[in-house]
Structure 1
Amino acid sequence: MKNSPVTDMDVRSSALGNGVSKKPVANRLYQTSTMAALLDAVYDGETTLDELLQYGNFGLGTFNALDGEMIVTEGVVRQFRAEGLAAEVPGSLKTPFACVTYFEPEKTFNIDRPQTKESFEGLVDSLVGNPNLFAAVRFTGEFERVDTRTVFCQCKPYPHMLEVVKKQPTLTMESVTGTMIGFRTPVYMQGVNVAGYHLHFLTEDQKRGGHVTEYRLVRGQLEVATISNLEIKLPRTEQFAQANLNPEHLSEAIRIAEGG
């Protein structure tokens, strides 16, 4: 007998705890708010981490008040604070911006020679093929070097994100093993998300990491999945209503904010 197809309603029912166990929709991106809103200091969201995990076990983001960087691996949310140390956090915390999916790799590639950031991204692009779709990316292995950053918790009135990143703590890790995950976003989605690659890193001992700004790989396993199904939950807050989501020089501002 063939299994019946899983619908969005099945997944939502399971997530809401009605006792019906259903396999979640794989490689469907769920996003809270937009990158343009975060850039304009919309640092308080309505979605709790428990709610976020109903939609994915893999992803990244930040926390209310811009309190550090977020990584979601194997259904566990970790927070990187300003010193780059990782810690698990309670599900009651909220996020102003996050992207998650139930990651099921569609292609796997063993990397056995050093790769720069540029050559690695080119490899992922070739595996995905379609530049107009999203992609989920996971690399697990050895790094010659990983440069990361985190952000400080902010106090109201919130400063613009470009002011925040001027003071962001950075961390360089050399000869380190760990996992780098994230998403590739099509260029036409700039502002909704981060066009290009947005990656976070977690060391093998799960103690350090952050938002990745530069790296060089040695060897390991690359896994990718193409994403063509996207859901975005936009805030209904006054802060979001007043945000300028289409400023001049948006792409340049995001590049600076992301450390590109």
Structure 2
Amino acid sequence: MAALLDAVYDGEMTMDELLEHGDFGLGTFNALDGEMIVTGREVRQFRSEGIASDVPSDLKTPFACVTHFEPEQTITIDQPLGKAEFEALVNKMLDNPNLFGAVRFTGEFEKVDTRTVFCQCRPYPGMLEVVAKQPTFTMNNISGMMLGFRTPPYMQGINVAGYHLHVLSDDRKHGGHVTDYRVLRGKLEVARISDLEIALPRHKEFAEADLLPAGLSEAIHTAEGG
């Protein structure tokens, strides 16, 4: 994640290689060409218009986070919950602030605010410059799936500390990176993650990236719309 902030937008791992490591997750694509959601063997790409499309197997990613999701707890939500209330509930279910958590909600939303990023051209601008111009969308009264991860604070820069969630509508046509939401009713599933595998690129851009800049946490918070 710190490398993305320093405009390292090209990676070396293809979608086929990524799916060897998990069938559930999120990320982005080379040249920052939209948002990624992984569910089952399906990878969807949300470009700047917020429309989901299929992804070729040889497309590469500079940042993605996936797992083989096996829910440890499942509950039914039958009342409206905003972002803060939803996160508090997940924290209680995970019951360990120092582990990663995988989260999936399937059901109805009163609203979901999303963003997607534009495909970039070299020389790449910094990510904060990119997200300042990113298109945002509000989807009201939709059904779909919201999934992602809770990352412990000590992993900031490797991943996004706190919650990082993407959403996909039931018709598989709309979604993106989630910035705010209010759920109405549905199924919430969570699992704790204690094993972590990291694959780092070996190219020149990554070798020269500043991965510990001043104000890292604040920059990631801004970039992720938190």
**TM-score grouping bracket, smaller chain normalisation:** over 0.9
Q: How is 1:1-260 mapped onto 2 (pairs within 5 angstroms)?
A: 35-260=1-226
The structural deviation recorded for 1:39 is 1.0
Counterpart Cα distance in 2 of 1:252 and 1:220: 33
Identity of aligned residues (%): 71
Q: What TM-score does the superposition give when structure 2 sets the normalisation length?
A: 0.99
Counterpart Cα distance in 2 of 1:52 and 1:93: 10
Counterpart Cα distance in 2 of 1:103 and 1:84: 25
Structure 1 letter corresponding to 2:23: N
The structural deviation recorded for 1:88 is 1.0
Q: Which has the larger radius of gyration?
A: 1
The structural deviation recorded for 1:93 is 0.2
Aligned to 1:32: none
Counterpart Cα distance in 2 of 1:53 and 1:195: 23
Aligned to 1:20: none
Instruction: Structure 1: state its 5+ residue gaps.
Output: 1-34
SS at match of 1:259: coil
The structural deviation recorded for 1:75 is 1.5
Counterpart Cα distance in 2 of 1:235 and 1:70: 19
Shift >2 Å, 4+ stretches: none
The structural deviation recorded for 1:50 is 0.4
Counterpart Cα distance in 1 of 2:184 and 2:134: 27
Structure 2 letter corresponding to 1:120: F
SS at match of 1:147: strand
Q: What TM-score does the superposition give when structure 1 sets the normalisation length?
A: 0.87
SS at match of 1:104: coil
SS at match of 1:125: helix
Counterpart Cα distance in 2 of 1:117 and 1:232: 29
Aligned to 1:12: none
The structural deviation recorded for 1:208 is 0.2
Structure 1 letter corresponding to 2:29: F
The structural deviation recorded for 1:74 is 1.2
The structural deviation recorded for 1:213 is 0.2
- Deviation by residue 1:47-89 (Cα, 9 ceiling, x = unmatched): 0000000111000000000000000011211000000000111
SS at match of 1:108: strand
Structure 2 letter corresponding to 1:226: R
- Deviation by residue 1:136-180 (Cα, 9 ceiling, x = unmatched): 000000000000000000000000000000100011000000000
Counterpart Cα distance in 1 of 2:100 and 2:44: 23
The alignment yields a C-alpha RMSD, in angstroms, of 0.4
The structural deviation recorded for 1:246 is 0.2
Counterpart Cα distance in 1 of 2:149 and 2:192: 10
SS at match of 2:198: strand
Instruction: Structure 2: state its 5+ residue gaps.
Output: none
Structure 2 letter corresponding to 1:58: F
